[in-house]
Homo-oligomer: A and B are copies of this chain.
Amino acid sequence: MNYPSKLIENAIEEIAKLPGIGKKSALRMALHLLKRDEKQTLRLAEALTAMRTQIRYCQQCHNIADADLCGICANTKRDVSLLCVVEDTRDVLAIENTAQYRGLYHVLGGIISPLEGIGPADLKIDSLVQRIEAHLGTTQAVQEVILGLSPTMEGDTTAFYLTKRLKPLGVKISTIARGIPIGGDLEYADEITLGRSIIGRVAYD
């Protein structure tokens, strides 16, 4: 496309690099910003810059944070005996939103994926093992590690590898339940999910 201004062309090109945004949406956003108060654009630009340059990562769980420890690790009311291992920050937010979990997290920063060249060494797995080892036998000891990984091939590979590393530490290892989603219709469930939900059936109480 032939843009009337180099300035808008640059902005559109940079906006279109965001995930899920094409050139047409980027143009729409650029024109929207041009129509609105200049302050809105400046606030957006400043918020992005501040986020990218000032953000820190929790030294304990590797979640994004404003300080050395994230808000969850710094919260003394959380149950330190429970540790949920997740792929990234989005998963932490998703689980926090359920308000069903009071333990801590460990953010791997990715998932083992040989196709994309991501191996165990690229993830925060050594840090997880050290974190558990450091408190073994103390009152702060982790009793149970919950594998909160996606039920994909990569997720299963990562879960398998983590189990191998964590077994020697003697902690209980569990995984989030897989099955038919609440409100889901049996006849529309895919065979693999339905099959697994039958194999993994639980006592009815």
Contact = CB atoms under 8 A, between A and B. Distances in A.
B41 A93 contact: no
Given A20-B25, A20-B28, A45 B49 contact: yes
Contact of A55 (B1, B7, B17): B7
Interface in A1-30: 1-8, 10-11, 13-15, 17-21, 25, 27-30
A51 interface: yes
Interface in A92-145: 92-93, 96-97
B4 A34 contact: no
Contacts of A41: 48-49, 51-52
A80 interface: no
B20 A33 contact: no
Given A10-B51, A51-B33, A70 B27 contact: no
A96 B33 contact: no
Contacts of A18: 29, 32-33, 44
Interface stretch (A61-69, A159-167, A197-205): A61-69
Contact of A31 (B46, B50, B90): B90
A83 B45 CA distance: 37
A71 interface: yes
Contact of A29 (B4, B19, B38, B55): B19
Given A4-B65, A8-B55, 15 more contacts: A2-B93, A2-B96, A4-B72, A4-B89, A5-B66, A11-B47, A17-B40, A18-B33, A20-B25, A20-B28, A27-B90, A31-B88, A33-B48, A34-B64, A41-B48
